[in-house]
Amino acid sequence: MDPRTSVVDIPRKPRNRRKRNLILAASAAALFAAITFGLSRLRAAAPLVDRGGLWTDTVKRGPMLREVKGPGTLVPERIRLITADTAGRVERIPLRPGAQVEPGAVLLELSNPDVMLQALDAERQLAQAQADLINLRATSDGNTLATRSSLATLEAQAADAQRRAKADQKLAADGVISEVEARQQVERAEELRSRLDLERKRLGVVAGSGKEQVAAQEAQIERLRAVVAFRRNQVDSMKVRSVDRGVLSELPLELGQWVTPGALLAKVVQPERLKAVLRIPETQARDLALHLAAAIDTRNGLVQGQVSRISPSANQGSVEVDVSLSAELPRGARPDLTVEGTIEIEKLQDVLFVGRPAGAQAGGQTELFKIVKGGDEAHRVKVRLGRSSVSTVEIVDGLAEGDAVILSEMSQWDTTDRVRLR
- φ, ψ of residue 96 to 5 degrees: the values are -130, 160
Contact 296, 75 (CB under 8 A): no
Q: Is 12 left (phi over 0), alpha (psi -120 to 50) or beta?
A: beta
Query: What whole-number distance in Å separates Cα of residue 79 and Cα of residue 351?
Result: 45
The continuous run of DSSP H or E covering 198 comes out as helix 179-237
Hey, do 51-75+270-421 and 79-111+239-269 end up sharing a CATH topology, with the first three levels equal? no
Beta partners for residue 247, in sequence order: 100, 269
Query: What digits encode the pLDDT tens for the residues 104-126?
Result: 999 999 999 999 999 999 999 99
Q: pTM (2 decimals)?
A: 0.56
Long-range contacts at 147-156 (CB < 8 A, ≥ 24 apart): 147/199, 147/202, 147/203, 147/206, 147/207, 148/203, 150/199, 151/196, 151/199, 151/200, 151/203, 154/192, 154/195, 154/196, 154/199, 155/196
Domain spans of the chain?
Answer: 51-75+270-421, 79-111+239-269, 113-234
- φ, ψ of residue 379 to 5 degrees: the values are -110, 145
Query: What digits encode the pLDDT tens for the residues 42-101?
Result: 455 678 887 777 888 899 999 998 888 999 999 888 888 999 989 999 999 999 988 999
What is the pLDDT at residue 116? Answer: 92
Of residues 91 and 145, more confidently modeled? 91
| CATH number for region 51-75+270-421 | 2.40.30.170
Query: What whole-number distance in Å separates Cα of residue 411 and Cα of residue 420?
Result: 16
DSSP string of 343-412?
Answer: EEEEEEEEEEEEEPPTT--TT-EEEEEEEEGGGTEEEEEEEEEEEE-SSEEEEEES--TT-EEE-S--GG
Closest Cα to residue 275, out of 303, 300, 249, 248?
303
Q: What is the mean pLDDT of residues 260-286?
A: 88
pLDDT higher than 50, residue 20: yes
| CATH number for region 79-111+239-269 | 2.40.50.100
Q: Which amino acid is at 256?
A: G
Task: State the number of CA atoms in the 13 A half-sphere of 244 facing the CB.
Answer: 15
Q: Which amino acid is at 131?
A: A
Q: What is the mean pLDDT of residues 272-283?
A: 88
